[in-house]
Structure 1
């Protein structure tokens, strides 16, 4: 049984008597201890998907249809009390800005102890010991000292470590990390990613890493979903997607990485921009930006097909595979 199963998920936003689709027919599974990444530009639907998993989509957004199951339990049908049992204890989230998560008027220790005691019936002393142990676990020096400090007294990297410690307090099965290193410099980014990777490996925790950067994803995730305009357009093993991207959008994301250009050269970029929810084009949503788009791409939505060990929604790839199949028939 899969730990997490998302099936045909549709999420809409009701705006001024207009229904806008934010997620369209998204499906994927996550096994215990597995690390997957959700990749795409801003507006692709990555964060909406992350919030949907724990049913945290607020109005005017709502889950229109589809299924999100944690083992055999349907999250979309849970009441508030049931959701509180899932959030934090079974599925925990790490956000990109720790200052939006940490309360500036409470010490680090008070916040960690409050989290523990809201879910368990243990003494303050025992909760304090657990909190200090978790701070030590995320490689925070002098955790007893940090326990009594306020968020503004810590560096950005230290605050993000505190957030990681907080999600470990209740030993979750899944961590959803939404752009957890965006606000950090490159050196600290690498340290945080290595910390997340080690924690997941050592504790058998599954990870959903949300990112716009395939370079970041390559260091952590075993499997990657590429999203565009609310759709998953490519899915497969991370190394396979990076070494042999199938969808033109995935190819564009890889070509836009700084390491893909020589020093002094301008960075490659995908022409155009992500469409808004109200302006999603017909057919394949990527066709206005795609150098290979045909009339069929403008009119029809491509279906998912297997290409090697990956699956991709692209008429170009489908036509190429059909051509190879026809040549094989002729040769035989």
Structure 2
């Protein structure tokens, strides 16, 4: 049984005059201990998908249809009290800005202890010992000292370590990390990613890493979902997607990485921009930016087709797969 199963998920934003689709028929699974990534530009729907998993979509957004199951439990049908039992305890979230999570007027220790005691019936002393142990586990020096400090007294990287420690307090099955290293410099980014990877491996925790950077994803995730305008357009093993990207959008994301250009050259970029919810084009949403788009792409939405070990929603790939199959038949 999959640990997490998302099936045909549709998330809309209900405006005064219209409903806008933010996620469209999104489906994927996550196994226990597996690490997956969700990548795409800003506006692709990555964070909305992450928030949807624990039903944290704020109005006017709402889950219109579809299923989100944690093992055999349907999360979309749960009331607030039931969801509070899941949030933090079974599924925990790490946000890109730790100051949005940490309370500036409470010490680090008070916040960690409060988290533990809100879900368990243990003494303050025991909760304090657990908190200090978790701070030690995320490689925070002098955890007893940090326990009594306020968030503003810590560096950005240290605060992110505190957040990781906080999500480990209740031993969750899944961690959803939404751009957890965006606000950090490159050196600290690498340290945080290695820490997150080690923690998930050592504790058998499944990870959903949300990122716009395929370079970051390649270091952590076993499997990658590429999102564009609310759709998943490619899914497969991370190394396969990086070494042999199938969808033109995935190819564009990889070509835009800084390491894909020589020093002194202009960075590559995908022409155009992500469509807004009010300007979603017909057919394949990527067609206005795609160098291979045809009239069919403008009119119809492509279905997923298997290409090697990946699944891709693209008519170009579909034609190539069909041509290869036909050629194979003729050779026989």
Q: TM-score range by the shorter chain?
A: over 0.9
SS in 2 for 1:146: helix
Number of residue pairs the alignment of both structures matches: 332
Q: Secondary structure at the match of 1:57?
A: coil
Shift of 1:329: 1.7
Partner of 1:283: 283
Alpha-carbon distance between aligned partners in 2 of 1:324 and 1:30, rounded to the nearest angstrom = 31
1:195-223, CA deviations, whole angstroms, 9 ceiling, x for partnerless residues? 00000000000000000000000000000
Mapped to 1, the partners of 2:111 and 2:321 lie a distance apart of 55
1:296-328 alpha-carbon deviations (Å, 9 max, x no partner): 000000000000000000000001111111211
Following superposition, which runs of at least 4 residues in structure 1 exceed 6 angstroms of deviation?
none
Please state how far the C-alpha of 1:331 moved relative to its aligned partner.
1.6
Q: Supply the distance in 2 between the matched residues of 1:145 and 1:286 (Cα, whole angstroms).
A: 51
> Partners of 1:71 and 1:181 in 2: how far apart?
29
Name the SS of the counterpart of 1:251 in structure 2.
Answer: helix
- CA distance in structure 2 between the partners assigned to 1:326 and 1:203 by the alignment: 47
Output the TM-score relative to the length of structure 1: 1.00
1:136-189 Cα shifts (integer Å, max 9, x gaps): 000000000000000000000000000000000000000000000000000000
Q: Give secondary structure in 2 for the equivalent of 1:177.
A: strand
Cα deviation, 1:272-298, whole Å, max 9, x if unaligned, reads 000000100000000000000000000
1:46 aligned partner: 46
Mapped to 2, the partners of 1:190 and 1:329 lie a distance apart of 48
Partners of 2:17 and 2:204 in 1: how far apart? 45
Distance 1:264 1:97 in 2: 32
Partner residue, 2:28: 28
Cα deviation digits, residues 99-123 of structure 1 (max 9, x gap) = 1110000000000000000001111
RMSD, aligned CA? 0.4
- Report the alpha carbon displacement of residue 16 of structure 1 after superposing the two structures with TM: 1.9
> 1:329 & 1:45 partners in 2: Cα distance?
40
What is aligned with 1:108? 108
User: How much does 1:17 deviate?
Assistant: 2.3
Look up the SS of the partner of 2:326 in the other structure.
helix
Measure how far apart 1:6 and its partner are: 0.2
Structure 1 residue 92: deviation in Å? 0.1
Cα distance in 2 for partners of 1:232, 1:150 equals 40
Secondary structure at the aligned position of 2:270 is classed as coil
Aligned counterparts of 2:15 and 2:184: Cα–Cα separation in 1: 34
Q: Distance in 2 between matches of 1:184 and 1:15?
A: 35
Task: Measure, in 2, the Cα distance between the counterparts of 1:192 and 1:16.
Answer: 42
- 1:10 is matched with 10
Q: Does 1:117 align with 2:131?
A: no
> Residues of 1 paired with 2:3 and 2:105: CA distance?
37
CA distance in 2, matches of 1:33, 1:331: 43
Q: Report whether the alignment pairs 1:320 with 2:320.
A: yes
CA distance in 2, matches of 1:125, 1:328: 69
Distance (Å, rounded) in 2 between the aligned partners of 1:83 and 1:326: 50
| CA–CA distance in structure 1, aligned partners of residues 324 and 42 of structure 2 | 35
CA distances 1:63-119 after superposition (whole Å, capped 9, x unpaired): 000000000000000011110000000000000000111000000000000000000
Q: Secondary structure at the match of 1:7?
A: strand
- 3-state DSSP of counterpart to 2:189: helix
Q: Distance in 2 between matches of 1:329 and 1:174?
A: 45
C-alpha separation in 2, matches of 1:159 and 1:144: 15
> Partner of 1:226 in structure 2?
226
Q: Distance in 1 between matches of 2:268 and 2:15?
A: 35
Partner of 2:259: 259
